[in-house]
Copies of this chain bind each other. A is one copy, B any other.
């Protein structure tokens, strides 16, 4: 169990988990081989084994992996043993979509939503009442929510994040297009929709030429 795990490896663990869950649904059988998992993820089998080996040994040489045990192991590695509480800040298009999305995903649960628009504060989205963004810190701390989705305009993002950090949030999924400053014990993941679209246009242009 090494100390520094490539981020790509952690991402792939998440992919493996999803594949295994699909395999379970398809009655794939109890024994799973790195070759099959690799095929499903469109990668090579040595990557699968390399990734898993960062965290221990999970298979039997000459045989393969026990589907159910591997699934549980990956869940444990990723920390998906209990439901995670999520707060959503910014109830525009993206924020609303995330609330809807997370309601249909198990493993995560939206426990609060915030906005600074008086028109929205007090209204409900599903079971969640929209709270005033000035109260992010106390409400988040009270609920013990560890994860936050930030879907506010870029120029408000850092202010919101400061409040979340004070409210003891440890992980942030950020849709705002600015780099966020957070303490060392808080991690941020960036979803940069505009950047992704621009990378697409770059690739389209490039391939047209070659």
Contact = CB atoms under 8 A, between A and B. Distances in A.
* Size band of the interface chain A makes with B: 35 or more
A63 interface: no
A147 B187 contact: no
28 contacts: A10-B203, A11-B199, A13-B198, A14-B198, A14-B199, A42-B179, A77-B202, A78-B198, A78-B202, A79-B201, A79-B202, A79-B205, A84-B201, A86-B197, A93-B100, A98-B193, A147-B197, A147-B200, A172-B200, A173-B197, A173-B200, A184-B207, A187-B200, A187-B203, A187-B204, A189-B196, A191-B191, A191-B196
B97 A204 contact: no
Interface string A115-146: 00000000000000000000000000000001
A110 to B, nearest CB: 11
B187 A207 contact: yes
A23 interface: no
A41 interface: yes
A170 to B, nearest CB: 5
A208 B18 CA distance: 25
A189 B185 contact: no
Contacts of A78: 198, 201-202, 205
Best-buried of A93, A173, A200 by chain B (most CB within 10 Å):
A200
A202 B94 contact: no
B200 A171 contact: yes
A199 B189 contact: yes
A105 interface: yes
A195 interface: yes
A44 to B, nearest CB: 13
Given A10-B202, A13-B198, A191-B196, 12 more contacts: A10-B203, A41-B179, A42-B179, A79-B202, A92-B100, A93-B100, A98-B193, A107-B198, A171-B201, A187-B200, A187-B204, A189-B199
